[in-house]
């Protein structure tokens, strides 16, 4: 943990080392980890203050699972001065903060994985009435396969149905920018060479 006493004298790179759970800056060159950890994450955007009752309910859920936690990142300020349509990232003005729901476990706890993931999904379901909706937005860097995945296999071409299906996560991650990104994908990568479980599909020829 970063203590108050060393907060002022800590450099940015030292804070990166601390947050990564490492000891020395030189440890950042080590691309392997000492232990195998697993995690599940989901995300939300909060646009209006959460009620006192809602926060109490969230705290009760958190206390039921010591391995779970949340990270809240404030939004607004300088980032809100850039229009939501001026870059692919739309979540700028109008959001108070984002929430990342997290739970992680070690290989020794592998038998607990289903319980941990179920707890996280229940927490996410509870928070539904306190966060953005239509669509319920999500942060693309907290990849959440619960939102849906592409149906294709390697070598298959995308279809109109694939483009519509990808809205399940495309609208959550990119809001109104999804259709523009489909057009960009179609122009740059019409054969869908670069793809993953939640990549944006090109329009069919």
CB distance 150 to 198 below 8 Å: yes
The mean pLDDT value for 139-158 works out to: 82
142 catalytically annotated: yes
pLDDT at 163: 92
Share of the chain above pLDDT 70, in %: 89
Please work out, in degrees rounded to the nearest 5, the angle formed at the alpha carbon of residue 123 by the alpha carbons of 118 and 127. Answer: 145
Element (H, E) at 13: helix 12-19
Q: Which of 102, 40, 42, 48 is nearest to 70 (CA)?
A: 102
pLDDT of 154 above 70: no
pLDDT at 200: 93
The mean pLDDT value for 186-196 works out to: 91
The CATH number of 34-147 is 3.40.462.20
- Higher-confidence residue: 105 or 13? 105
Cα(53)–Cα(204) distance, rounded to whole angstroms? 48
pLDDT band at 35 (very low <50, low <70, confident <90, very high): low
pLDDT band at 151 (very low <50, low <70, confident <90, very high): confident
Cα(96)–Cα(35) distance, rounded to whole angstroms? 36
Domain boundaries, the chain: 34-147, 148-205
pLDDT at 17: 81
pLDDT band at 120 (very low <50, low <70, confident <90, very high): very high
The token duo for 192 is 């869908």
pLDDT at 18: 76
- Per DSSP, the three-state class of 124 is helix
For the ranges 76-85, 95-104, 123-132, which has the lowest average pLDDT? 76-85
pLDDT at 1: 44
pLDDT of 2 above 50: no
- From the candidates 75, 124, 142, 178, which is the catalytic residue? 142
């Amino acid at each position: 943990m970063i203590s108050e006493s060393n907060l002022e004298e800590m450099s940015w790179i030292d804070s990166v080392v601390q947050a990564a759970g490492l000891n020395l800056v030189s440890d950042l060159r080590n691309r392997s980890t000492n232990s195998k950890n697993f995690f599940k994450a989901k995300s939300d955007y909060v646009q209006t203050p959460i009620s006192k009752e809602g926060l109490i309910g969230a705290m009760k859920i958190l206390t039921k699972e010591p391995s779970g936690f949340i990270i809240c990142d404030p939004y607004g300020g300088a980032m809100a001065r850039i229009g939501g349509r001026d870059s692919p990232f739309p979540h700028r003005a109008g959001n108070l903060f984002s929430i990342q729901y997290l739970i992680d476990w070690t290989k020794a706890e592998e038998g607990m994985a289903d319980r941990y993931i179920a707890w996280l999904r229940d927490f996410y379901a509870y928070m539904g009435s306190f966060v953005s909706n239509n669509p319920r937005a999500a942060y693309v860097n907290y990849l959440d396969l619960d939102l849906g995945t592409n149906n294709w296999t390697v070598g298959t071409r995308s279809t109109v149905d694939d483009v519509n299906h990808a809205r399940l996560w495309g609208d959550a991650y990119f809001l109104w920018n999804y259709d523009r990104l489909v057009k960009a994908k179609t122009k740059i990568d019409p054969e869908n060479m670069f793809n993953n479980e939640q990549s944006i599909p090109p329009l069919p020829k």
